[in-house]
């Protein structure tokens, strides 16, 4: 996971506006795409063609104003390929309409193959928006005054076969091992062999993304049991009234969400430009939650 922008609404010399790139095996996920995200990807050494999915939290400019440039670049880079990749764009209610309006602001031929998915959860219940054998992604409504989503990336549990145990039953490489890997029970030489007898189940990782919101039930749902919770902390709690008026979180509120949801690690982002260092925001959160740090641009995290 690479933080491409960690500032609040206004970019600073040290912090660009919102953008996070998550790489999982051969898939790339871009969570929000603020102004200058392409350049940040260049500096970080991230190939823009690695973006397979764009997850838009909401349509405030500091979270989407880099989209038009990214779409144009991806289209031009892939226009000559016989099999052009499809980029999936997920976002809240009105995403299709706002993308269409975005295309009207510039004159260019859109050469990118896109599939747009509008996500409209009901209430505070997370819904699965993407699901395959390796991972799933959930989304839920947040409270930011406009349609706004939180996302959770959830790796599936992985069954790891112990070949020594498998061979102790007289089984070598082959389709029977594949069935055990998939969690199936087999019969071999009249003996019933369960996956639990020859393997261990490694718990998949979970990352929660809460990038703009007031404290709400949806944020708690996204954070639940996260290995890493990436959460906005626009202000320290001295400015809690300002946070409430703007439907943002203080660092202490973010820490409370992490603490109450059994999160293992908290990374704060979306820091107001008023803070010249991250010390006040960090100390505010540490009053509640110990395993916390403040993200900085180009920070890399291996999950």
Domain-embedded: residue 170 = yes
Residues 127 and 182 in one domain: no
Domain-embedded: residue 265 = yes
Query: How far is 65 from 35, CA to CA, in rounded Å?
Result: 5
pLDDT value at position 45? 96
Query: How far is 256 from 288, CA to CA, in rounded Å?
Result: 6
Domain-embedded: residue 223 = yes
Residues 178 and 214 in one domain: no
Report pTM. 0.89
Backbone phi, psi, residue 256, to 5°: -65, -40
Give the tens place of pLDDT for each residue, 73-90.
888 876 666 666 789 999
Query: How far is 186 from 175, CA to CA, in rounded Å?
Result: 10
Q: Assess contact for 279 and 293: CB atoms under 8 A.
A: no
Its domain, for residue 191, covers: 160-199
Q: Of 32, 62, 212, 284, which is the active-site residue?
A: 62
Residues 134 and 165 in one domain: no
In this structure, the strands spanning 199-202 and 158-161 are antiparallel
Query: How far is 249 from 148, CA to CA, in rounded Å?
Result: 14
Domain-embedded: residue 301 = no
Domain-embedded: residue 300 = no
Number of domains, the chain: 2
62 part of the active site: yes
Residues 22 and 170 in one domain: no
Residues 176 and 289 in one domain: no
What rounded mean pLDDT belongs to the chain?
A: 94
CATH number of the CATH domain containing 21: 3.60.15.10
The answer to whether residue 228 scores a pLDDT higher than 70 is yes
In this structure, the strands spanning 86-91 and 113-118 are parallel
């Amino acid at each position: 996971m690479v933080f491409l922008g960690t500032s609040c609404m206004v970019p600073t010399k040290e912090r660009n506006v919102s953008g996070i790139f998550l790489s999982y095996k051969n898939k790339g996920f871009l969570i929000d795409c603020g102004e200058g995200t392409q350049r940040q990807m260049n500096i970080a050494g991230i190939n823009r063609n690695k973006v397979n999915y764009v997850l838009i939290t909401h349509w405030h400019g500091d979270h989407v104003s880099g989209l038009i440039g990214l779409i144009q670049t991806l289209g031009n880079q892939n226009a000559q390929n016989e099999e052009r990749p499809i980029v999936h764009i997920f976002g809240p209610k009105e995403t299709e309409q706002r993308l269409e309006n975005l295309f009207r602001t510039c004159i260019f031929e859109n050469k990118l193959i896109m599939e747009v998915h509008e996500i409209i959860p009901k209430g505070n219940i997370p819904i699965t928006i993407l699901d395959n054998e390796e991972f799933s992604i959930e989304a839920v409504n947040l409270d930011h005054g406009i349609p706004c989503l939180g996302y959770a990336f959830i790796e599936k549990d992985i069954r790891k076969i112990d070949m020594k145990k498998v061979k102790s039953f007289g089984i070598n490489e082959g389709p029977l091992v594949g069935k055990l890997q998939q969690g199936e029970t087999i019969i071999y030489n009249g003996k019933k062999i369960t996956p639990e007898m020859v393997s261990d189940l490694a718990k998949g990782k979970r990352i929660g993304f809460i990038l703009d919101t007031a404290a709400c039930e949806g944020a708690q749902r996204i954070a639940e049991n996260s290995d890493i919770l990436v959460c906005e902390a626009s202000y320290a709690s001295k400015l809690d009234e300002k946070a409430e008026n703007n439907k943002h979180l203080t660092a202490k509120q973010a820490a409370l969400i992490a603490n109450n949801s059994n999160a293992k690690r908290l990374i704060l982002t979306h820091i107001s430009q008023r803070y010249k260092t991250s010390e006040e925001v960090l100390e505010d959160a540490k009053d509640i939650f110990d395993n916390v740090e403040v993200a900085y641009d180009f920070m890399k995290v291996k999950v």
